[in-house]
Structure 1
Amino acid sequence: MRSSWILSQLAALSCLAQASPLLPFGEQPYDSSVNHSEPVRGVNIGGWLVLEPYITPSLFERFRLSEDSDEGIPVDEYHFCAKLGLEAAEAVLKTHWDTFYMETDFKQIRAMGFNLVRIPVGYWAFSRLANDPYVSGVQEKYLDLAIGWAKKHNLKVWIDLHGAAGSQNGFDNSGLRDQINFLNYDENVEVTLRSIKYLLAKYSGEQFADTVTGIELLNEPLGPAIDMGKLKSAYLQPSYDYLRSTLQNNDQTIVIQDAFQPPHYWDSFINTSSANIIIDHHYYQVFSQGDLARGTPERVSVACGWGQSTLNEFHPSVAGEFSAALTDCAQWLNGVGIGSRYDGSFWKNGQGSYFIGTCEGDADIAEWSETRKQDTRRYLEAQIDSFERTGGWIIWCYKTESSIEWSTQLLAKYGMFPQPITSRQYLPQCS
């Protein structure tokens, strides 16, 4: 049986942290040949099995009708598939799935010092609503390939159900933007449960036990906008019970995303010593005007507080998403047709933004000042140090077509992501 890899890493790390709260980062280079307990140091495989326009804008640009607006461009994967039709969408997506991530990426991810990949996939990969336009039944082949690549290159895998039927948050990363109907219709819950149960049954089995060490029940349900009691009773608890009671698997780690709730909110949920649950916290400082207006010292202070706030939660936790981004300038980061708060072009639901700085040259490293590069590295290091005081971290995401701030691959290339992964240009910033 699986040795609950993530939890065993966290337990060992907890003992180490108690002996030495501030580890001497950078004193020793990362050595992938040493089999010792270390924090989760992961990266998200974003924009692959679930489309996000800002990660692969070229897939969406084919629909553009005007150079002056985003007219005609689908806002999410649902509308992407609806516009193309099922046959054409499958052909386009197969090409994307064949080329955007390959084994060489997983080999490089391991060489960079990561020990885990989090792979998002939508419910529609396994089960669809009657009127869904999504391509279905093909993604599983690529998920299995990725797990095989991970195993070959000594990476663990965290499978993340990123989108629920009807959308759990109204974000394009759920597959369907601008509505939150997951819990509003029984059929949505039933179809999503069918998908997560399939994932739990298949990927908690012996064939995948050594590699798939966590399954996330649902990414980013929008807690402030949904019935949290129903989320727990109609979806999270039945999923947990299916794995533990029906499948009688007590070893697979269940991951619960925090639903944008405060630290310790989940302490009372399935709080037994054998629960084998990890809470996944996501952290960004670019999705509000106040966040974007902060200077680097204040950003660092906020990041240090994140790790501190989760130290004594009942369930172990991991920062399952965070980024190096200091702006929201990446094209379509906030959604197709919405603009950026940073340069004052944001407009959504009657709300605009004020100018903080220009977004010109954001995708061109030659246009980045040395100060911006240094601030990006400093902020990134502070987050990593903060999260390594708890269970570890999984940065979002490994690659994009053009956005530097959101591509770990490009950040490393340009010296803003630590290489080796434990090296530091700045002394530990979180005390």
Structure 2
Amino acid sequence: MKTPHTKHSQLLRFVFVFAHVFFISNGRTLLSTNNHQMIRAVNLGGWLVTEGWMKPSLFDSIPNKDFLDGTELQFKSATIGKYLSAELGGGTIIVANRTSASGWESFRLWRINERSFHIKVFNNQFLGLDSAGVNLVAISTNSEASGIFEIIRKPDDPSRVRIKAPNGLFLQAKTEDLVTANSQANGGWRNDDPSVFEMTIVQRLQGEYQITNGYGPLKAPKIMKDHWDTFIVEKDFEFIATSGLNAVRLPIGWWTASDPTPPKPYVGGSLLHLDNAFLWAKKYKLKVILDLHAAPGSQNGYEHSASRDGSILWGQTEESIQETIRVIEFFTARYAPNPSLYAVELINEPRASGVPLDVLSKYYEAGYQAVRKHAPNAFVIISSRIGADATELLPLTVSKMKDVVIDTHYYNLFRDIFNSMTVDQNIDYVRVNRSSELQAITTSNGPLTFVGEWVAEWQVQGATKEDFQRFSKAQQDVYGRASFGWSYWSLKNVNNHWSMEWMIKNGYIKL
């Protein structure tokens, strides 16, 4: 017979078991309300992953710095008046018959040294000579098997060039239908010399690959060490901790996991500075969001992912995914004992046009497990794809992951819609459109949400300090509703409004 006391004990046990099961099955919700501290962070961008626009002086001393890896060039024949083009985008001959220039008429550099280059065409073949050693073709997909070229600029007019071919002679466009490498280039720089071309620099990249390969193995180690030693220091962590922020988002590159001997052209030393960052974060009681900003082969083709030439190679092979998982596991295992490790972001800004959702989802599942192996209590952050709706990640996180965060980035820049907006229109866009976008991925039983990058910069000309203050406050108000928090891009930048340090010290941002 069951006594009232027994029934009471069973009831208490049932309540305890139910509560325990509820906590396990709804860990995300309880963690976000009871244990999770809302993140107000700043990115330490441009430090351990180079972005030249943030500190252009880093590139000043590179010899022939106009011709770094990934520089995109177009060449117009001075004689014919038409552009060189890879016929069909590559795989066959080079012609000189295009009246306007676009993708097939653009050529990207792979730098060997300051004078010598492999040259890549639209479909990823490299320039070379045919079997007769005369006609210019783009057939080989192997850079080492293709030819080495030299671009020689006219001393008093650097947009006027000749291109020396692997056979020691110069390219010339005598007809529209074929470009050959058989000129002695002894006609001066006149327009009637078919070896003369007008060169246009379409695009430059200034990332980690460009700076290390540009300076070369002898100079790059010192240049990078000097930068790492001075760009972010311990006092910066003290400033962050006393400014109303409680965390840093720390962009890193995959090569740092191979320190002190990373693959060429990267140089060793960045791991020591990452170690220092964790020591300083612990000292000043700051949380660290470790963000894999640059993955092997580049996940978006931009310089901030250390792309060599704008191509997106990450995820195209199983090896690139497995290498990235090894990198994530290395960093997580190394820093899990440090109480400042709060979250690991598996990859930053994969681009939808180059990374299929199924490939990314497979990696996120494996990367999640790699983090959980060493840091069962750390948050795992997955980044939405550039050019895709962040809600596409919700099914993955709801069904298979716990304590996971979706990161989305909001800039009132980079799209034509913002070019003509006024101050109030920008602010209204944040309060209405951004609020709606954020609400769409913030669900009661789903992942936490994180605005991992935002900035108080826009296309508005002549804005006042008060305008910037209103814009900053609107973003803080809206992004403060993200259930995980937000992070400003970035702490330091030569462009003042992109520097949170400058914005705080000068009263443009109030926390």
Normalising by structure 1, we get a TM-score of 0.73
Aligned to 2:398: 271
Aligned to 2:351: 222
**Separation in 2, partners of 1:262, 1:100:** 35
8 Å CA contact 1:9, 1:38 repeated in 2: no
Deviations 1:95-121 (A, max 9, x none): 111111111010011111100000000
Aligned to 2:378: 252
Per-residue deviation, 1:68: 8.9
Residues 330-369 of structure 1 aligned to structure 2 (within 5 Å):
369=462
Per-residue deviation, 1:41: 0.7
**Separation in 2, partners of 1:74, 1:264:** 31
Aligned to 2:84: none
Q: Aligned letter for 1:157?
A: V
- 1:393 pairs with 2:466: no
Per-residue deviation, 1:94: 0.7
- 1:239 pairs with 2:238: no
Judged with a 3 Å threshold, the aligned counterparts in structure 2 of structure 1 residues 143 and 131 are, in CA distance, closer, same or farther, namely closer
Per-residue deviation, 1:7: 8.1
8 Å CA contact 1:162, 1:219 repeated in 2: yes
8 Å CA contact 1:74, 1:83 repeated in 2: no
**Separation in 2, partners of 1:116, 1:409:** 14
Per-residue deviation, 1:274: 6.2
**Separation in 2, partners of 1:7, 1:255:** 16
Residues 261-410 of structure 1 aligned to structure 2 (within 5 Å):
261-272=388-399, 275-304=402-431, 305-311=433-439, 312-313=442-443, 314-327=446-459, 369=462, 371-391=463-483, 392-400=485-493, 402-410=494-502
Deviations 1:43-84 (A, max 9, x none): 000100000011111101223668999979763210211121
8 Å CA contact 2:405, 2:450 repeated in 1: yes
**Separation in 2, partners of 1:41, 1:130:** 33
8 Å CA contact 1:256, 1:279 repeated in 2: yes
Aligned to 1:155: 286
**Separation in 1, partners of 2:223, 2:352:** 34
**Separation in 2, partners of 1:384, 1:285:** 14
**Separation in 1, partners of 2:271, 2:451:** 26
Which gives a bigger RCO, structure 1 or 2 (Cα 8 Å, sep 6+)? 1
Judged with a 3 Å threshold, the aligned counterparts in structure 2 of structure 1 residues 38 and 300 are, in CA distance, closer, same or farther, namely farther
Aligned to 1:347: none
Per-residue deviation, 1:286: 1.2
**Separation in 1, partners of 2:30, 2:302:** 33
8 Å CA contact 1:213, 1:253 repeated in 2: yes
8 Å CA contact 1:121, 1:161 repeated in 2: yes
Q: Aligned letter for 2:45?
A: G
Judged with a 3 Å threshold, the aligned counterparts in structure 2 of structure 1 residues 292 and 74 are, in CA distance, closer, same or farther, namely closer
Judged with a 3 Å threshold, the aligned counterparts in structure 2 of structure 1 residues 54 and 253 are, in CA distance, closer, same or farther, namely same
SS at 1:271 equivalent: helix
Greater Cα radius of gyration, structure 1 or 2: 2
8 Å CA contact 2:299, 2:354 repeated in 1: no
Normalising by structure 2, we get a TM-score of 0.62
Per-residue deviation, 1:266: 1.5
Q: Which deviates more from structure 2 when the two are superposed, residues 184-193 or residues 86-95?
A: 184-193
Per-residue deviation, 1:240: 1.3
8 Å CA contact 2:53, 2:206 repeated in 1: no
- 1:54 pairs with 2:53: yes
**Structure 2 residues without counterparts, runs of 5 or longer:** 1-27, 67-156, 160-199
Judged with a 3 Å threshold, the aligned counterparts in structure 2 of structure 1 residues 296 and 239 are, in CA distance, closer, same or farther, namely same
- 1:122 pairs with 2:253: yes
Aligned length: 344
SS at 2:376 equivalent: coil
SS at 2:54 equivalent: coil
Please, which of 88, 94, 99 is the counterpart of residue 225 of structure 2? 94
Residues 163-182 of structure 1 aligned to structure 2 (within 5 Å):
163-176=294-307, 177-182=309-314
Q: Aligned letter for 2:379?
A: T
**Separation in 2, partners of 1:231, 1:287:** 24
